Amino acid sequence: MTAKRLITPEDLYRMHWVNDPVVSPASGAIAYVHKSVKKEIDGYTSHIRLLHPDNHKDTPFTSGENDSSPAWSPDGSQLAFLRKKGDKPQVWTIPADGGEARPVTDLKYGVSAFKWSPDGMQLLVRSEVSESDGTDQDQNTSNANNSNDNNGINGNNGSKKLPEEAIYDRIKYKGDGIGLWNGRRAHLFLINLATEESKQITSGEFQVGSFDWSLDGSSVAYTASISSEQYPDPDLRLTNDAFILNVQDGSVRQLTEGTHSIYTVAYTPDGQSLLMLASDLSCGFATLARIHLIALADGQDQVLYTDMDVQLGHAAVSDMRASAGTPPLFSKDGTSVYLQLNQDGGVHIGRFALDGSSYELVLGGEREIYQFALTPEENIVFAAADPLQPGDLFAYSASLKQEQRLTNCNEELWNELNLSEPEVFTFQTGDGWTIQGWMMKPTEFTEGSKVPAVLEIHGGPQAMYAHTFMHEFQLLAAAGYAVIYTNPRGGHGYGQVHVNTVRGDYGGRDYQDLMEAVDYVLNTYSFVDASRLGVTGGSYGGFMTNWIVGHTDRFKAAVTQRSISNWISFYGVSDIGYNFTEDQIWGNPWDDLEKLWKHSPLAYVKEIKTPLLILHGEQDLRCPIEQAEQLFTALKRLGKDTQLIRFPGADHNLSRSGHPYLRVRRLSHIVRWFVEHIER
């Protein structure tokens, strides 16, 4: 037998990912998306594969290079999916028994999401609409409101296209991963599949978010944040509303009253209510989502399971995917809804009775169930990862209470690798809170040896480290480091009080939790060398890394990633800076300058003695690169040991879904910095 080897950053090029399982209502065939790195390592490729119902034989089903979002027709005769050619995804369909796929939409700005009508005759699609579509303006303009005077200055000068200024009159004029606002809004269209004609059914200065068909196809529900007397600027609203649109006459009725942030909507099977996952923002962005049933007749809001102290949906952190989660799925008899929930470092599936009487944990375990689907028999097909594998498909039989693995997409690579298995621990903080964490030994650990260790800190902070695979952690373990990671206060997995505690106290109790976690590890695991510690994290974890090295010298090296260093400037440069800073730090620059500075790591830069590597994407609009530049400039001016690495074209999701080559380079630099600065 060939000896196994240590994992490398370049192993990313050989990894495969599976997601978006959907089950045919007719045959039970499972369609899913298979994603991998292109051979040229200049991007990713994805296509749809089919698991056959009789023997689960796994075969390719579509041949595109960028196919995603599969959805079976109500009768199971066709599969619709998004195919991206260039930068505009369109809906295509393919017969269930195979054959040639054909496009069924040709919308100017492509399609971002779609749903079949209950009768299978139409598609409800979400697509962007430009404010200037009626003027035949170039659809690729990045201008929100181009200034075009009549003297030809902004027109063509011979064959030369002159640059144009961009004018914005809204505060939300940019978004991470999107760029500068292009003057377009997402709206709903109906696509007649027989004629392929499209009809726009929503319009206005708002964006459509979640949407759903009623079961009889007579109406459509959608969410949007719309200007009103109470909210004259919808960009400043943290709430949105649910609306019901009559498909026949186009009339619209507002169902809610601006009191909640609504994440997803779905008609209940009895057609009497709209189910919403929503937050009342009583704890700001840290508020747990609840199940709401809104009666369609009178708008009465019934909140279910208010005593359930866990976050619904998906909140786990992983460097294997940028987003995950499955919308509510209803039981066959229409009396229950299946939802994901986050608890104790696991992402599980629960079944909740719609009368509010009871709920049960259907699938749990020390893993991250990141997506799922129901079969016609109400069994579950789900995509799950654990600390030793990045994600595969599984089937759960409700009658037999048994699971079966359906895919093993990384089998060849994983047979080569020697990995480190995390050990879960819990500890009591000084003020009596219970905190969960994990310890990973070096992959080739020798009993009796003393090893260096790296503390990893997740972003959010309203997120959660989970029982899932992390390439970055495995690389550090392969390089000879123990890896410590934990869910301090401010994160999910425990309950509302826990996740809300960090608001207004960044760098306070959360910092103490992390330091006490390190103390616990040093007192519990005798092989960890207290004199050889490192620390790293991204986003909020980057903020906390910056904060830590400005408040203690116990770490010999640090790597800060896509971080925050200055709340004062962050307020105005981040795509969410104005509302996030007010919600999390409880202040703004004109009224609370001293408070924002007090919570800014840059204020403590003179105290930093730890060698600090700064990693940042140049197109990160969530934590813009000026945050890294300020910190780097100050450290260099003060003669500190630091280095700045800029990743061109990369946004805030570089570590999860960015350019594969840059992901590999990022991982390599993290390991390099610790090896160079921590004696082994």
Is it the case that residue 139 has pLDDT exceeding 50?
no
Write out pLDDT tens, residues 473-495: 999 999 999 999 999 999 999 99
From first CA to last CA, the distance across the chain in angstroms is 31
Structure confidence at residue 230 (pLDDT):
85
Structure confidence at residue 138 (pLDDT):
38
Given pLDDT bands bounded at 50, 70 and 90, which one contains residue 146?
Answer: very low
Is it the case that residue 151 has pLDDT exceeding 70?
no
Q: What is the average per-residue pLDDT within 646-655?
A: 98
Nearest to 383 by CA among 10, 16, 81: 16
Write out pLDDT tens, residues 588-638: 999 999 999 999 999 999 999 999 999 999 999 999 999 999 999 999 999
Structure confidence at residue 229 (pLDDT):
86
Rounded CA separation 303/141 (Å): 44
pTM above 0.85, yes or no: yes
User: How high is the mean pLDDT of the chain?
Assistant: 94
**Cβ atoms within 10 A of the Cβ of 291, count?**
22
Task: Give the active site residue among 34, 652, 669, 677.
Answer: 652
Rounded CA separation 189/199 (Å): 5
HSE-up (13 A, CA, CB side) for residue 641: 12
Active site residue 539: yes
**Contacts of residue 69, Cβ cutoff 8 Å, sequence gap at least 6:** 20, 33, 81, 82, 113, 114
Q: Compute the C-alpha angle 546/547/552, nearest 5°.
A: 105
At 573 the three-state DSSP class reads helix
Of 53-57, 325-329, 495-499, 628-632, minimum mean pLDDT range = 53-57
At 355 the three-state DSSP class reads coil
Given pLDDT bands bounded at 50, 70 and 90, which one contains residue 132?
Answer: confident
3-state secondary structure 5-55: EECCHHHHHHCEEEEEEEECCCCCCEEEEEEEECCCCCCEEEEEEEECCCC
Active site residue 574: no
Q: What is the average per-residue pLDDT within 50-58?
A: 90
Residues 27, 76 contacting (CB under 8 angstroms): yes
Q: What is the average per-residue pLDDT within 490-503?
A: 94
Q: Across the strands, what pairs with 123?
A: 116, 191
Is it the case that residue 148 has pLDDT exceeding 80?
no
Peptide bond into 488 cis (omega under 30): no
**Contacts of residue 298, Cβ cutoff 8 Å, sequence gap at least 6:** none
Given pLDDT bands bounded at 50, 70 and 90, which one contains residue 141?
Answer: very low
At 560 the three-state DSSP class reads strand
Write out pLDDT tens, residues 445-469: 999 999 999 999 999 999 999 999 9
Is it the case that residue 289 has pLDDT exceeding 60?
yes
Is it the case that residue 228 has pLDDT exceeding 90?
no
Token output for 476: 């550090």
Structure confidence at residue 545 (pLDDT):
98
Structure confidence at residue 158 (pLDDT):
59
Task: Give the active site residue among 420, 539, 569, 657.
Answer: 539
Structure confidence at residue 322 (pLDDT):
86
Structure confidence at residue 1 (pLDDT):
63
Which H helix or E strand runs over 636?
Answer: helix 626-637
